[in-house]
Amino acid sequence: MAASVTGAPAKPWYKILYLQVLIAILLGVVVGWLWPSLATNDWIKALGDGFIKLIKMVIAPIIFCTVVSGISHIQDARKVGRVGVKALVYFEVVSSFALIIGLVMGNLIQAGHGLAAKPDAGAVAAYVKQAETQKSVDFVLNIIPDSVVGALARGDILQVLLFAILFGFALMALGERGSKLRDIIDDTSHAVFGVIAIVMKAAPFGAFGAMAYTIGKFGPAALGNLVGLIALFYATAGLFVVVVLGLIARAVGFNIFKFIVYIKDELLIVLGTSSSESALPQLMEKLERLGCSKSVVGLVVPTGYSFNLDGTNIYMTLATLFIAQALGVDLSFSQQVTILVVAMLTSKGASGVTGAGFITLAATLTVVNPALVPGMAIVFSVDKFMSEVRALTNITGNGVATVFVSWWEGELDHDRLHANLNQTIDPSDLQTAVTTG
């Protein structure tokens, strides 16, 4: 099955978005290094800023549709009783560990320190003034919108989230009567993600502008900070997989490294597409083959793609701290706690689509400290190098979650689990094992 997917793409190399962005980034480095005056031109800067505005344009509708759809479909979890509750509890606990690890690593290794980036003072002044004058009680009251339409029009993420959560639970309570409206919201969500697919075609231009301007303004030394951020993210994601997911796997009774080898085909598909959704059908089939019950796989994997995005969570905490360090913005302890809470909510709107991690970062920065939003251009210039690891961490986390919930429910076939992970089963017998299991 994986072979047919990996063998399907027949695009010329110059039409592959990944290569386009990679070439654009390299060109941006060259232009910023050799022609800094050209790279800091307003029109070059506008390429990166314009792409960020296109991304911010769709944040509110995406979060509304995905959160409403995710919550309203939890009624499927009720059909399998305790499985849904256990899955959601697992998602929230493990996601919290991912956020905390990202926050700890970001504070310990300050990759953005010394970059001394300076955003447009005029663009940031209003945000800074608002942040300084806003009291905590005002922050809480501001979560409640004066009108839903106004919240969507302004793109106020917390207000949109509040209404989406309430709307999702109300729609879930309607049961079958709300099925048509659920379908409309699902279709709207697909359409909005279609808009993202169109917007992502401009990613090479945005990447070129962002990288050229960054290198042109801050010099080649900025590359050191950006490479440091990439290395830190890779190391933190690896630490999360080996330690957190490794301990969870050990508790169930299997080895995390053997599990990674088992899903290597799916990981390669994800690596090539930068989206964990690209391997969803294959992952579900392999988890059934591994000994997880069909009902648990059918519930946990799709739900996990909205509620269990470990790689995205790590990315948001690290990137937020990096931007704050680069801009010289000192985040208080309460603001860092806010990162955890807000990122936990905004990550629910990132469903494995290429670029979704950057969208949730924009939403998180807007709430934590709007003065950090202009710094997104710095991170965007290397975001592509981190999107693959986000997706790889997400799909690995969802695979382990499914095995864990199956084990928790007492519906895990340990014999088949070990036979597959130890590669003692003839691959030709796998399909038979699924159909007869």
Q: How far apart are CA 325 and CA 192, in angstroms?
A: 33
Count, residues in the chain: 437
Q: How far apart are CA 378 and CA 222, in angstroms?
A: 9
Residue 355 Ramachandran class (φ > 0 left, ψ -120 to 50 alpha, else beta): left
Q: How far apart are CA 191 and CA 197, in angstroms?
A: 10
pLDDT means over runs of 10, the chain (437 residues): 45 71 83 84 81 76 76 57 78 90 86 58 41 51 78 75 82 83 86 79 81 75 69 90 94 92 77 59 80 78 76 86 81 80 67 57 74 74 71 88 90 88 56 41
The DSSP code for 331 is -
User: Of 39, 8, 114, 45, which is closest to residue 380 (Cα–Cα)?
Assistant: 45
How many alpha carbons fall within 13 Å on the CB side of residue 25?
19
Domain assignments of the chain as residue spans, ordered by start: 2-436
Q: How far apart are CA 410 and CA 341, in angstroms?
A: 32
Cβ proximity of 168 and 75 under 8 Å: no
The DSSP code for 1 is -
pTM tops 0.75: no
Q: Both tokens of residue 359?
A: 């969208």
Q: pLDDT at position 340, please? A: 83
CA separation, residue 64 to residues 146, 227, 331, 383 (Å)? 17, 34, 28, 24
Instruction: State the distance between the two ends of the chain, measured CA to CA, in whole angstroms.
Output: 20
Residue type, 416: R
For 2-436, CATH gives: 1.10.3860.10
Q: pLDDT at position 161, please? A: 75
- For the four alpha carbons of 385, 61, 318 and 48, in that order, the dihedral sign comes to positive
Q: pLDDT at position 246, please? A: 94
CA separation, residue 296 to residues 93, 172, 263, 288 (Å)? 19, 20, 18, 9
Q: How far apart are CA 102 and CA 312, in angstroms?
A: 10
